[in-house]
Structures are given as structure tokens and as C-alpha cells.
Structure 1
């Protein structure tokens, strides 16, 4: 997939194309369906497929206090977008100047001038231009003016329409993560929720308890950190090595901790020597599969270690199968 980090990066002569626009945070199943529609239309008509997105998120510039926690960093977002088969993505640096563009200027400069759009794919609730003043009617009128077709997609959700099935949206994923329900989040995303960060030194208490953990730098993490609790997940190193892990998120209340931490204990596996496992300084991916329990305060170290043994056994059953021993 070709990537452009601004309008000036788009070379002359690109297109004609099928274009869509969005933040695509998390690249959930609804996003993937829209992007798949763009790819299918483009291939069927012999055109190029392209998505327009923004970095940073518009609300981080316009109203930081209302800006949502992001589900994915930009690199992860674009990797997921590329997996849909898209030909290109245009990442527009979002500034107050760009936010002030009229709907007409945005469409003329981006869709028509840079991307030579023959088809624009949007949802019923599309908003664009200064103050979100452009809507579907605006887009359709601009399509008639500039000679591109507007294809409108319905809201997307669970095709089985099961009772209680969440709508495919980034908001639904954030709500699930706020409750620690990473399984429900994955059902909307179509993939496990991921946190990416660098392993840093912690207080080394886990090593003293017999469970050495990789402590992630939460201040520089990509990916929304879910509710406090203990999770089963997979830790992937830069080398590609994938390790089953028991993950603790919280403040370690048994030890009166104050700083919220994300710690991953890599389960012993054949060929994995725990004492020689040095992850410090590595930027790792942590995919969360299931929540085992909320964070608890224990009366002492012995009770905590007993629970950790049960947590590790449960993670082993979930991730590796077997009886957990």
C-alpha cells in the first residue's frame, strides 16, 4: 500500500480512484467492510482504491478535553488498513487551518485535485469541512458539480443481528474496554485489542515473588489501556517471537501502589528460559484475549502468590490448551 503524509506527497497523475474518508480508529469490522467495498469497486472498474484519514485525531486539535482515547497508533492503524487490500492511503496532518477549509475546498483540493476521484464512498452520517458543515447532501451536490459518483453505505453491524450485538463502531470498542471486556471488543474489531509500548524497569517485585514481569511504559503506549484487571494475552517481540502472557493492569493495591501499570508475565514454555528472557528496551505488542478477574487487594503476599498461580494456570488453559498445570 502506498502512503502519503500530505497532499504534496501525492504525485501528479494518480487515479482515477475510488475514495473514502474517516479516522478509522481501531480499523474495526465496519471499517474493514467499508474499505473492502472501496477495494471491490475500484478493482471492478479498473480504478485505484484510496482512503483519506487524519493524524492527529481532529478532536485532539480542536477540543483535547473531549478527544477519545485512541484504540490504535498511526502505524498500527495503517497496517490494518493495508490488510484490506487498499492501493493507497492519504494521511492529512490535521491542523486548525485544515479544520477551517470549507466543504467545497476540501473536496476540490483533496478528492478532485489530488486523487482524481471517480467514486466517493461514504456513510449516511458523513460530515466534513469547517465545523462539520458538509453532510451527505453536500457531498452529493459536489459530486454532481465535479463529476464523481457518491456511493452511500448503510450502517454496519453483526450480520446475524443477535440480541445485544454491538454496532461496529470505535465507540462500542471503547465502551467494552472501559469494562475490561476485551472479548467483546475483539468481536467488534475483528482482531484482539493491542497495546504497544517499550519494556521499562519497574519495581522488580514480580521477580521477587517468582513471577518476573515485563513492565510497559504506559506514558508512551499506543492503544487504549483497558479497565484494571488480570488478562490472558500474547506478547510479541520485535523479532516476531510470540509469547503467551498473564497480564496485570492496575496499581498493585496489595502493595498500596499509586501508579497504574501494565505488566506481562511470559508463561514458561518449551524452549523459553525465563531467567534469560531480557525484554528491557524492546518495543513489544500486547494482544489481550480474555479478562480473568478484576484487580483485587489481598491480605498478604502468600494469598497474592496463590492467586497468581491460579491466574497463570487459567492463562495457560486459555492460550495454550491443556489442564493449566
Structure 2
């Protein structure tokens, strides 16, 4: 997949470009259906499949009341879209100046003249351009004039025959509620966080006899506090594990941490980057009366995770 980070990097229009525009946060099953249709149309017209997105997320630039945490940051988004077989990934820097571009200028100057668009695959509710004037009706109004096709796939339902659709908002709510097993059904994969292993409280190994990797998160969206069965990708390979997310109330130091204990692993991970797939939530966070109770519970969590993970790994 060719990856471009600016419109200026496009030297000439792509041959028969079939374009999907969106933020694609999560690259969930709904987004995957859009990319599948893009690739299908590109094959039909011997064209180029193009995914066009923005960074930072427009809501971070335009939102007045803050913005929700992102499900997938740019690095993972690129990996996921590349795995879907898209030819070109175009990430356009988004700022107030770009937000002021009219819908017509966006269509004519960027999509048609710059990218060479012959077909556009877009969600029913997606809008673009200043004051969000660009929508499906606007595009269809100008399709004959500029010689392109507008394709609007059906929404992907949450369940067969259901009326609720898969959306980034729904995925985010489910993850924030700790329902990581349910998130897999909407994402088509396990929810993953990634980050660098850093020095933590230095309590897991020395105090509890259970070493943990303390993660400095790169991601914005973190599942609900609690204990989870996880799979961990490290430079040494993929391992089963138990993740604890929260404030470790037994220690009463009010520090938020994400710590992972890897099963059957005894190497040093400090400074390395790891990826954690959340398989299932085991329990919520709890304050114990003493360290012996805590250690006993952690041992049980490890046993529970070991039983859960063989089929899920």
C-alpha cells in the first residue's frame, strides 16, 4: 500500500481512482464493508482503491466540548487498512484552514482534479466541507457534471436482522464498559492497545512475586478498570497474559496504571514496545485487606486467564 501524508505528495491523479472518505476510527466491520466495496469497484474499472482520512481527527480541531478518545491511532489504522488490500492510503493534515474549504472546492479541486476520482464510496451520514455542506445529496447532484459515481453501501447491523448499526461510537462505549469480548464482534478482531514498557511501582516482582510490564500507553481509549485475560505481542513472540487496569486500590497511591503479567515468560521487556489484545474481562477492581489476599487473588486471576485463553488465542 502506498502511504501519503499530504495532498502535495500526489504527483499526478491516480488511474480511475475509487475513493473512500472518512475518519475510519476503529476500522470496524462497517468500515471494512466500505473498503470491500471500494476494492470491488476498483477491480471493475481497472482502477486504484484509495482510502482518504484526516489527522488529527476533525472533531479534535472543530469540537468545542473536547473529543472522544480514539479507538485506533494513525499507526494502527494504517496497518489495518493495508491488511484490507487498499492500494493508496492518503492522510490529509486537518486544521482550521482545511476546515474552511467549501464542499464544492473539496470535490472539484481535491477529489476530481488532484486525486482523479471516478467513484466515491461513502457512508450514508458522512459530511465534508465547510459547514458540512457536502453530503450524499450534494455528491449525487454533481456526479454527472464531473463524471463520477456515488456508491452508498448499506450499514452493517450489530446483529443479523437488527436495526442498530455498527459504529465507532458504539464500539467506544462497549470498550469503555469493559465488554471487550463484545467489541470483537463489531471490530472483527480483538481490541488492542499498544505502548512502551516503562518502570512502574517496582512492586509486582519484588513485593508480590509476580512480575508485570508497566505500559506507557500510546492509545487514547482504555478499557474499563479491572482485570483482563489478554494476549501480548512482544519482540520475543506472542504470550498469554493478565492485564490489570486501574488505580491498584490496595496500595492506595491513586496512580492509574496498565500492567501486564505474561504467563511463562521471564525476560526483560523494559524499553520495548508491546501490543495487548483484550480477550475477556475477568473481574472488576477491588481493594484487599492485605498483600496476602491480593497475591492470592492475582494467582487466581492467572489461573482464570490460563483457562480462558487457549481457545481465544
- TM-score, normalised relative to structure 1: 0.92
Task: Output the CA distance in 2 between the equivalents of 1:189 and 1:255.
Answer: 35
Structure 2, gaps ≥5 residues long: none
Which of residues 214, 219, 225 in structure 2 aligns to 1:222? 219
Q: Which residue of 2 aligns with 1:38?
A: 38
1:260 and 2:250 aligned: no
Q: CA deviation at 1:159?
A: 5.8
Give the secondary-structure state (helix, strand or coil) at the position aligned to 2:293: helix
Is the Cα–Cα contact under 8 Å of residues 246 and 285 in structure 2 kept in the other structure? Answer: yes
Give the secondary-structure state (helix, strand or coil) at the position aligned to 2:299: helix
Task: Output the CA distance in 1 between the equivalents of 2:74 and 2:55.
Answer: 7
Task: Output the CA distance in 2 between the equivalents of 1:213 and 1:245.
Answer: 10
Is the Cα–Cα contact under 8 Å of residues 166 and 188 in structure 1 kept in the other structure? Answer: no
Is the Cα–Cα contact under 8 Å of residues 249 and 287 in structure 2 kept in the other structure? Answer: yes
Change (3 A) 1:13 1:116: closer
Give the secondary-structure state (helix, strand or coil) at the position aligned to 2:282: strand
Task: Output the CA distance in 2 between the equivalents of 1:132 and 1:257.
Answer: 46
Is the Cα–Cα contact under 8 Å of residues 54 and 94 in structure 1 kept in the other structure? Answer: yes
Is the Cα–Cα contact under 8 Å of residues 16 and 45 in structure 2 kept in the other structure? Answer: no
1:91-141 C-alpha deviation (Å, 9 max, x unpaired): 000111000000001111221012111111112212110121222111112
Give the secondary-structure state (helix, strand or coil) at the position aligned to 1:30: helix
Q: Which residue of 1 aligns with 2:197?
A: 199
1:261-291 C-alpha deviation (Å, 9 max, x unpaired): 10000011xxx4x2xx100001111111100
1:168-224 C-alpha deviation (Å, 9 max, x unpaired): 111111110111000111111111111111100011111120111000013xx2251
Is the Cα–Cα contact under 8 Å of residues 12 and 115 in structure 2 kept in the other structure? Answer: no
The number of aligned residues is 310
Give the secondary-structure state (helix, strand or coil) at the position aligned to 2:306: helix
Is the Cα–Cα contact under 8 Å of residues 56 and 93 in structure 1 kept in the other structure? Answer: yes
Q: Which residue of 2 aligns with 1:295?
A: 285
Q: CA deviation at 1:248?
A: 0.1
Matches of residues 164-203 of structure 1 in structure 2 within 5 Å? Answer: 167-203=165-201
Q: CA deviation at 1:145?
A: 2.1
Q: CA deviation at 1:12?
A: 1.2
Matches of residues 8-157 of structure 1 in structure 2 within 5 Å? Answer: 8-63=8-63, 65-157=65-157
Give the secondary-structure state (helix, strand or coil) at the position aligned to 1:186: helix
Which of residues 238, 251, 275 in structure 2 aligns to 1:285? 275
Change (3 A) 1:255 1:166: farther
Change (3 A) 1:11 1:238: farther
1:49-80 C-alpha deviation (Å, 9 max, x unpaired): 11110011011112263311011110100110
Is the Cα–Cα contact under 8 Å of residues 6 and 91 in structure 2 kept in the other structure? Answer: yes
Structure 1, gaps ≥5 residues long: none
Q: How well do the aligned residues superpose, as a CA RMSD in angstroms?
A: 1.5
